[in-house]
Amino acid sequence: MLKELESLYEGDIVINGQPEHPEDYEWFYTADGDEIGIAKHRLTEQERRLLALFFTPAERRREPESEEERAWKRWMATGDPAAPARLAAPYCRFIHFTASRPITNKEEFADAVCGLFSSPVTIVWEQDRRGLIVEAKQKRTTEPSSLVDMAEALAADFYTAIHLLIGPIRSVDERLYESFLLEKECFSAARRFWPKRTVYEWEDVIPLPLFEEGAVSEKARRILSFLDGFDDKEVRAMETFLQCNLNVSMAAKKLYMHRNSLQYRIDKWTEQTGVDIKRFKGAAAVYLAILHRRRS
């Protein structure tokens, strides 16, 4: 249906994007969380009612609270360099977020988010359900991430599932806008790939372009299909082992099984596939095969 809408309102529709003047658009959400903006002057009242039957109308956007937020919105839409120039830091990190339902009290949400960071942050809303957290950083060093806990805390406080993409710390330079657009695209891909996961780290999404439509050759498909003989439960166990950094004890706890039982299964995986998942190269191969399986 989105393609039909794009054709019908060509030039006056935005899907998962940020126009320069969002207040001139009527906004709707699909069941999959996509955002649709249609220029108000193109819609009749009958069309509005019809669209509201198929999609969820968005609440009216609030006006930006500060010039800083307005500057970041312009930057997100056009790459206007005014916003990054306002950062009193040589580095920054973007945390992209989306919620399963509109956040009605944005001030409380902002207070909750700001309290979870030690560095200064700016929250820029793209829509009622999604936005960007800009974290100013004085150093390029990273501290252990607590954003998984943050997503869970926000979900509990605001009764909505929160999905986050934690971008890497980047230099504030002329390449920042291009990096932002890439991260935004990767966030959408990650949500399609892992719809139940709440937090995506940058290293999670790096391999995803390898599995885009048309990117995988027939030879690669054959090579990466070595997990086809395993059921989903077994593959989830492999993935848990990888997520635990190849730590058998930690993975066994997460899988609610005895360490020796998991060790036996790991040995069987190696025997059946010829790939030693306990070694880095083998683990990398299994991880790519899991991604390929999910994409297929």
pLDDT digits (tens, 9 = 90+) for 218-269: 877 787 888 888 999 999 999 999 999 999 999 999 999 999 999 999 998 9
Give the pLDDT score at 35.
78
Ordered structural domains, the chain, with CATH? 2-57 (no CATH), 67-205 (3.30.70.270), 208-295 (1.10.10.2840)
Task: Provide mean pLDDT across the span 282-289.
Answer: 90
- What gap in Å lies between CA 47 and CA 81, rounded to an integer? 38
Give residue-wise pLDDT tens across range 56-80: 887 654 454 578 888 898 899 889 8
What confidence score (pLDDT) does residue 143 get?
63
Determine what percent of the chain is predicted with pLDDT higher than 90: 31
Mean pLDDT of the chain: 85
> Tokens at residue 97, please?
């977020």
Residue reference for tokens 């009764």: 159
From the number of C-beta atoms within 10 Å of its C-beta (0-12, 13-18, 19+), residue 160 rates as middle
Residue 87's nearest CA partner among 47, 52, 39, 120 is 120
Specify the pLDDT at position 60. Answer: 52
Q: Read off the pLDDT of residues 158-189 as tens digits, 9 standing for 90 and up.
A: 778 889 999 888 999 999 999 999 999 889 98
pTM, entire model: 0.67
Stretch 272-295: mean pLDDT, rounded?
A: 88
3-state secondary structure (DSSP) of residue 17: coil
Residues above pLDDT 70, as percent of the chain: 93
Residues 6+ positions from 177 with CB-CB distance below 8 Å: 75, 79
Q: What does the alpha-carbon distance between residue 140 and residue 94 come to, in Å, rounded to a whole number?
A: 13
Per-residue pLDDT tens over the stretch 98-126:
988 878 778 888 888 888 888 889 999 88
Q: What are 154's two structure tokens? A: 């926000």
Least confident among 88-92, 96-100, 186-190, 202-206: 202-206
β-pair type (162-166, 56-57): unpaired
